[in-house]
Structure 1
Amino acid sequence: MHRLQDLLGLPLLETETGTQIGQIKDVVLHIEDAKVQGVTLDEEKQSSFEMGIAYVDLLSVGRDAVMIRNHSVVHQCASIFEITINYYVKDLFKKEIITDDGLRLGMLVDVFFDASTGELKWYQVSDSIVSDLLYGRRVMPLPKLQIVGKDTVIVPGEMEKLLHKEE
């Protein structure tokens, strides 16, 4: 299991040439499908359009680098991501998670995902810095139904029972 936070800033390397073509700038998520759609690039050569790579075009997601076959899989983000239904991971972090019956569960600080499939698995939740230090962070499975708002993520009330200490 990987954390989305760990992808940010990783080098993006071509396996054909060994060339670094940039770094991962952000991760694009499709919340309804619970999948990573792709990544956006902070490229060495600046382009006037935001560039990205669909997740299916990534050869591997490692601890220290993300690998692609060659530069041909890099496209304008507008042509590969449906911006209206996707979320950038940087915009998702630091949102309050609240149940639909009004209980605050904490702040969303990371998302765990399966690197081989791109499937989103768990939300990592922080109650506060002090609580994190004393008791550790908590995780909960990705809710099947949720509403992602400007400042909050609203989840079903039963998610409170599924929230547990991170192991």
Structure 2
Amino acid sequence: MRTFSLLKGMPVFEIQTGSKIGEVCDLSLTDNGVVKGLLLKKGVVLKKTYIIYLEHVSSFGQDGVMIEDESLLELVNETTDSETIEVGYSLIGKTLMTKQGEQLGLLEDVYFLEEVGRIVGYKCSDGFFSDILEGKRVVKTDEPPAIGKDAIIVNVK
């Protein structure tokens, strides 16, 4: 299990050549909240965004993500209509609600299983002072969330 915040900025390496291809900048999610791939920035001056689907990731290490071949990368179209954690249709900062109508806070991070891409938990914030006094809340789930324009609806364990 890994959080997005630990994965962000991690280098991606090609196993065949040992070359650094880019750095993870975001996660790409399906409509039902499953991680389908890693978005990475590649390039020196004009950085472009690429996606590597989870099934093409060889391993997630402590210090880098390994893929077999750079040809597995796909250029991300600017108009792509997919959910992400931070950029585009961002989930960070959205209200997290239970199916029972309880507001849990604002989404700050996600916990996911790298091998299958399933999100299993959410870290949320109730605001600066509440976080200092009570700490941030981690919510565990079994089912994929319902991702809406205004909120993310989860079934809490």
TM-score (norm 2): 0.81
Residue aligning to 2:105: 106
CA RMSD of aligned residues (A): 2.5
Matched residues in 1 for 2:75 and 2:104: separation?
37
User: Secondary structure at 1:131's aligned position in 2?
Assistant: helix
Are 1:40 and 2:39 counterparts? yes
Question: How does 1:60-139 map onto structure 2 within 5 Å?
Answer: 60-77=59-76, 83-84=80-81, 86-90=82-86, 91-100=90-99, 102-139=101-138
Shifted more, 142-151 versus 111-120: the winner is 142-151
TM-score (norm 1): 0.77
**Distance apart, 1:46 and its partner CA:** 7.0
Residue aligning to 1:59: 58
Matched residues in 1 for 2:63 and 2:31: separation?
26
Amino acid at match of 1:89: I
Amino acid at match of 1:142: T
**Distance apart, 1:145 and its partner CA:** 6.1
Q: Greater helix share, 1 or 2?
A: 1
**Distance apart, 1:107 and its partner CA:** 0.8
User: Secondary structure at 2:115's aligned position in 1?
Assistant: coil
* Gap runs ≥5 in structure 1: 163-167
* Gap runs ≥5 in structure 2: none
Residue aligning to 2:9: 9
Matched residues in 2 for 1:69 and 1:40: separation?
16
Identity of aligned residues (%): 31
**Distance apart, 1:108 and its partner CA:** 0.9
Matched residues in 2 for 1:133 and 1:77: separation?
38
Matched residues in 1 for 2:103 and 2:110: separation?
18
Matched residues in 2 for 1:145 and 1:45: separation?
36
Residue aligning to 2:151: 152
